[in-house]
Amino acid sequence: MIPRIKTNLIKYFFFGNSITDDGYLRLAYLLGRFLVFLPLSLCATLVLGVYSIFRPVKIFMLRCDVSRISNIVEDLEVALRIEAHNTKISGAKPALLFAVLDCDSPNRAFTKMYGRVLPFLDDDRSFFRGIIRYTLPIFRIERRYLARRQSENQMIVWAESPSTLTFTDNERKQGVELQRSLLPDSGRPFVCIALPEKSYYLTKYIPSENSESNQDIYSCMPSWDSYYHCINTLSVAGLNVIRMGQSVDTKIDQSACRIIDYASDSRSEFGDAWLLGNCKFVIAGAGTGIYWPASALNKPALLTDSYGLFNSSYGQLDLKIPQLAWSRSEKKLMPFSWMIGQGEGWGHKKSLISGDIEIVKNTSEEITEVVLEMNQRQDGTWVESDEDKELQSRFNALRASIPKWQVQPGVRIGADFLRRYQYLL
């Protein structure tokens, strides 16, 4: 079957990301676009090549299998912090940097902030992107395809580095106005919370005809019912709680908990960036990507209902509690070492959860305990017992086999959770 060609060929040829859905016409389109941009890219290569004699040039190619803010942060924020760290250590002249995202921006307010740090080339700047994409790595021009692992010490560098992102004076004024209109008492600190929503994943992921991927991203999703108590507890403690999310399934019943349903009622791309960059901390349930932009702005994150122990978030002050694994055949909870041994995201592995393993999600009590711990740690009132230190030390020993670049040493398991399940160590 010949794929249908999109209309307005000139527009898509020079500015679009694709011209057909699949097949030989797409291949011909990509080849043709390469040939058109080649002369322009050769000119850029000569100019940047000469420039690189005096100052290195680096082109960061970002992952774009799916347009997600988590990919941008994990790729670009890590790269920028490593770049700044290495430049400071070496005393060399900072490189001229470019970021190439071969798809649409997942949040234009956020990528606009990166655009003040370096030229950020996505679908909104596709003509310039096409020129830089094909620039040749001559002299001191480096073209790097970014990946999750960029340095063995990237977690340490991250923890020691300031955020590369800042708000302008105008954005701060806009953010203050947003808080005044959104919060009943804008003087109170606020916490951002999000859980994974099926509607979001349906817009981001197209189910593959090949089930070999063996992924089930829905079974580990928790219910909002389990989070109402912690939300009300934070409200009683004097904090506003704001629901975040790009796409949500249903509105939250305001009679059930004291939450500001910003995601349903008044979400904006700037609002996402501002709120996540100015909250006290974020609560990210079951791997939802809310913590990535917050982490990029050096805000602490609490990861609840986490579906893996093999890796961690990036912040030194982050906390997490994982979902547990119940063996149907052995009729017991599997130890933490088993969960680590399953690698990343065991809670998404269909072969496990359709077979012997049942996911045990965090209870309302467990979530409330770790939320209160996080709040007290941020206030500086948390008192850690000798038992807590010993249990954390034992848990850290289990993570010793995990590559350094995947684990932030400062990330801790909730103290009450670890006491309750210390027999799994």
Closest CA to 276 of 254, 249, 244, 308: 244
Closest CA to 78 of 62, 65, 96, 67: 62
The per-residue pLDDT for range 346-374, each reduced to its tens digit, is 878 888 888 899 999 999 999 999 999 99
Provide the phi-psi class of 345: left if phi over 0, else alpha when psi is between -120 and 50, else beta: left
Looking at residue 207, its pLDDT comes to 53
Which pTM was predicted? 0.88
Could you give the CA distance from residue 273 to residue 354 in angstroms, rounded to a whole number? 38
Residue 124 Cα distances to 30, 127, 129, angstroms: 19, 9, 9
The per-residue pLDDT for range 84-106, each reduced to its tens digit, is 999 999 999 999 999 999 888 99
The phi, psi pair for 260, rounded to 5°, reads: -95, 110
Looking at residue 33, its pLDDT comes to 73
State the average pLDDT for the chain. 88
Higher-scoring residue by pLDDT: 417, 73: 417
Structure tokens that stand for 398 in this block:
């289990």
pLDDT category, 180, cuts 50, 70, 90?
very high
Could you give the CA distance from residue 415 to residue 369 in angstroms, rounded to a whole number? 9
The per-residue pLDDT for range 234-267, each reduced to its tens digit, is 999 999 999 999 888 899 988 889 999 999 989 9
- CB distance 143 to 137 below 8 Å: yes
For 75-180, list the strands marked E by DSSP. 96-100, 120-121, 141-145
Q: Taking the C-alpha atoms of 242, 218, 269 and 75 in order, what is their torsion angle to the nearest 10 degrees? A: 110
The per-residue pLDDT for range 299-312, each reduced to its tens digit, is 999 999 998 887 78
Could you give the CA distance from residue 220 to residue 197 in angstroms, rounded to a whole number? 11
